[in-house]
Chain A
Amino acid sequence: MKMDGEEEQEISQKITFTAEAFIRMIGSLSNTFGSAGGSMMFQMGKDVGSYETRKLLQELDDSEAEPEALMRKILEEVSSHGWGEMSLTEFDLLEGVVEVVLHHNVFETYCDEIDMPQCFFLRGYLAGIIEELTEQRLHFKESKCYAFGDEDCSIKMVKG
Chain B
Amino acid sequence: MAKVLKAVAAVMLGRGFGVEQDVDVRGLSGSDHNFSLVATKGTVRTVVDVSTFGSQNDLVSLLGKKMDLIGSDALLVDMTGNEELSSLGKVYNIQILPPGGMALGDILGVYIDGIEQRESESPRVVVNE
State which of A35, A41, A142, A160 has its C-beta within 8 Å of the C-beta of B34. A35
Query: B61 to A139, Cβ gap below 8 A?
Result: no
Query: B61 to A33, Cβ gap below 8 A?
Result: yes
Query: A124 to B29, Cβ gap below 8 A?
Result: yes
Is B7 interfacial (CB-CB < 8 Å)? no
Is A34 interfacial (CB-CB < 8 Å)? yes
Residues of A within 8 A of B18 (CB): none
Is B28 interfacial (CB-CB < 8 Å)? yes
Closest beta carbon of chain B to A39's beta carbon, Å? 4
Chain B positions 45 through 71: 1 when the CB is less than 8 Å from some CB of chain A, otherwise 0: 000000000000100111111011010
State which of A32, A35, A140 has its C-beta within 8 Å of the C-beta of B33. A35
State which of B31, B57, B60 has its C-beta within 8 Å of the C-beta of A42. B31
Query: B64 to A36, Cβ gap below 8 A?
Result: yes
Q: Report Cα–Cα, A143/B29, bound state, in Å.
A: 12
Residues of A within 8 A of B34 (CB): 34-35
Query: B65 to A36, Cβ gap below 8 A?
Result: yes
Which secondary structure characterizes the binding site on chain B? Answer: mixed
Is A111 interfacial (CB-CB < 8 Å)? no
Chain B positions 22 through 35: 1 when the CB is less than 8 Å from some CB of chain A, otherwise 0: 00000111111110
Q: Contacts A35-B34, A42-B31 hold; do A139 and B57 have CB atoms under 8 A apart? A: no
Residues of B within 8 A of A38 (CB): 29-31
Closest beta carbon of chain B to A116's beta carbon, Å? 11
Query: A36 to B33, Cβ gap below 8 A?
Result: yes
Is A67 interfacial (CB-CB < 8 Å)? no
Q: Can you sample 29 A-B contacts with CB below 8 Å?
A: A32-B57, A33-B57, A33-B61, A34-B61, A35-B31, A35-B32, A35-B34, A36-B60, A36-B63, A36-B68, A37-B64, A39-B28, A39-B29, A39-B31, A39-B64, A42-B28, A43-B29, A43-B68, A120-B29, A120-B30, A120-B31, A123-B29, A123-B30, A137-B127, A139-B28, A139-B30, A139-B128, A140-B28, A160-B128
